[in-house]
Structure 1
Amino acid sequence: MVRPRLHTDEQLLDAADAVLARVGSARFTLELAAQEAGVSAPTLVKRFGSKRAVLIASSQRWVDSIEVDPPVDARESALDALRRLSVGSYADSDQIEHAAGHVSSLAMDLGDPELTRLLALGWERKRQQLAGAISRVIDAGELPRTLEATAAARTLFALLEGTFLAWTVAPDGSLTKILDDEFDRLTTTWKRGTP
């Protein structure tokens, strides 16, 4: 008779993601993830196979979570929705420990071809999400029709990621406040039609 699983893969990945946010990929261990989940490390090995397999599963889940065309809330202006999709996606990094964990994971991702592929795929999905949101802002008349949504999404994404990385090096103030200010500066420039 097969014993029922007490923890789903999703629950185990939730625990792994919590540990990754705290310590990053380099210091992540199956033991830490197992402690977080309340299971033994062999349970994780049996379920996933290795630390790398857990990291790949976590990255794939992150990619799958990025909705290229998320539902629109009619109570929210198109520009506010763009702000939420931009600035709001960094809310979990507003503590330096979590931000450092994300940067550590980025470094590890770049050293593994499969993790790099998933990172590139996730970033592309995020840029597509932003391009769709920018198109809705343009259609709503909140940004000029001369703005090209795909190029604007690349610019916005680069601004967000660059600001995030700069903040992890010199964390002065709230990351989300800084990102919010940068978002305002960029969208104001777009509204004026100046480069």
Structure 2
Amino acid sequence: MKRVGVLALQGAVREHAQSIEACGAEAVLVKWPSDLEDLDALILPGGESTTMRRLVDRYGLLGPLRAFAKSGKPMFGTCAGLILLAKEIVGYPEPHLGVMDIKVERNSFGRQADSFETPLSVKGMEAPFEAVFIRAPHIVSAGSGVEILGEHDGKIVMARSRQFLVCSFHPELTDDHRITAYFLSMISSQTDISLPKRSVYSKV
């Protein structure tokens, strides 16, 4: 069984774990460097990116997370997790992990009160994905090796580069597990992966 970690410092950790398990994998909560051992992949959930970075430093996870990224194992960043993975952040002198060739801007869609849901067309999916945006960032620009998978109002909100997958929204807050299933498929194959055509893992 695939073992997929969820960085369990802040955010919708339980919801990500439930989505992983709904897709037939084992969810592992990650709070300490030792928790990264023997994982097949790792999810960095949403939350507040600066707070999450402080907690990453407090728990001694920055170096181990960068080492995990260099190992080639898949990493999926949602919302704040996207910001952690980005190589450049608008208005900030330095990135956090800085492992994905994208430039991001925080809080691109308004405050908490401006949160919204919208059907999102995702590359490779026949049916739209109901995306939940909460104080979401967006990708301002992406390197040549980055594949754009989704846009909303002209802003890039989902992308992939090699073993890194990111999205601005919160797929774990829905009963549609297609995006989690796609991420899990990256564990066994690093190239030419297609998104599921239908929500085979949706809850009944």
What is the TM-score with the length of structure 2 in the denominator?
0.27
Higher relative contact order (CA 8 A, sep 6+): 1
- Give the structure with the higher percent strand: 2
> Rg larger in 1 or in 2?
1
Q: TM-score, normalised by structure 1?
A: 0.28
